[in-house]
């Protein structure tokens, strides 16, 4: 069951967006629950009780807490849900990068635009369901690809950097075949998850946690193109 939420302090706008989602799902055919919240605080309270949300349609201009502030708090708490901002003002778009917003929908929202964004959101959700299975000395671990930041060759081992670090005696080429399109080989010894990339220079890739990884010069253009396609 997918769980979508609409957070908007205007009940008419919230009903309208929820209705468009329902119309889209007549074709998509997903097992889907749509919930509505009248404020950022109301959604944050619900999220604290049960964080199993998949997609959040989030109005930016609300009462005491704006949609941008709510998104920042969710990301700081480690929330991986897809955030889609809804706004009447173009100037907020730059703030979406910091919170990994999937898209901005400019009011008035149309069914066609909302449907296209939801198709992308569902693709991302399916990617999150992909896992990497690692055979370790003390047992088997299944890691969500979504949480892996990067992979690094260390002598005869590859270390997978996620919430924790895991080292396996396998080649980087072998592991690369088990990853998806959200990963990119930036060096003979490194593969990075594009969702964690903050900045790219000719010589290195800076991740959102400040980690600097070496970048092969011949892969610079390809990496930039991969980032553009991903986002």
Of 163, 87, 177, give the one whose Cα is nearest residue 132.
177
Instruction: Output phi, psi for 142, to 5 deg.
Output: -110, 115
Q: Residues 2-128: name the CATH superfamily.
A: Response regulator (3.40.50.2300)
Alpha helices in the chain (DSSP H): 11-28, 40-49, 67-76, 111-128, 172-176, 220-230
Residue by residue, DSSP assigns 52-74 as: ---EEEEESS-SSS-HHHHHHHH
State residue 177's pLDDT score: 93
Domain ranges of the chain: 2-128, 131-230
Q: Per-residue confidence of the chain (231 residues) as pLDDT tens digits?
A: 899 999 999 999 999 999 999 999 999 999 999 999 999 999 999 999 988 899 999 998 888 898 889 998 988 877 778 899 988 766 655 555 566 778 888 888 999 999 999 998 988 887 777 889 898 888 888 888 888 999 999 988 999 999 889 999 999 999 999 998 889 999 999 999 998 898 999 999 999 889 999 999 999 999 999 988 876
State residue 90's pLDDT score: 65
CATH number assigned to the domain with residue range 131-230, chosen from the 4 options 3.40.50.150, 2.40.50.1020, 2.40.50.140, 3.40.50.2000: 2.40.50.1020
State residue 229's pLDDT score: 80
State residue 77's pLDDT score: 79
């Amino acid at each position: 069951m997918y769980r979508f939420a609409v957070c908007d302090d205007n009940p008419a706008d919230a009903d309208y967006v929820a209705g468009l989602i329902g119309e889209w799902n007549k074709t998509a055919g997903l097992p889907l629950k749509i919930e509505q919240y009248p404020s950022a605080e109301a959604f944050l309270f619900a999220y604290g009780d049960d964080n199993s949300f998949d997609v959040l349609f989030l109005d930016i201009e609300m009462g005491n807490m704006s949609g941008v502030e709510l998104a920042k708090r969710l990301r700081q708490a480690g929330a991986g849900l897809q955030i889609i901002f809804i706004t009447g003002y173009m100037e907020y778009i730059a703030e979406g990068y910091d919170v990994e917003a999937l898209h901005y929908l400019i009011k008035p929202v149309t069914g066609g635009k909302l449907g296209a964004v939801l198709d992308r959101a569902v693709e991302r959700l399916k990617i999150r369901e992909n896992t990497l299975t690692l055979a370790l000395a003390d047992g088997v671990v299944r890691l969500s690809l979504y949480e892996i930041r990067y992979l690094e060759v260390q002598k005869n081992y590859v270390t997978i950097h996620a919430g924790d670090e895991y080292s396996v005696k396998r080649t980087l080429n072998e592991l690369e075949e088990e990853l998806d399109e959200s990963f990119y080989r930036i060096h003979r010894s490194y593969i990075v998850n594009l969702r964690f990339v903050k900045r790219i220079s000719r010589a290195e890739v800076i991740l959102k946690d400040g980690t600097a990884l070496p970048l092969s010069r011949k892969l610079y253009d390809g990496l930039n193109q991969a980032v553009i396609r991903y986002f």
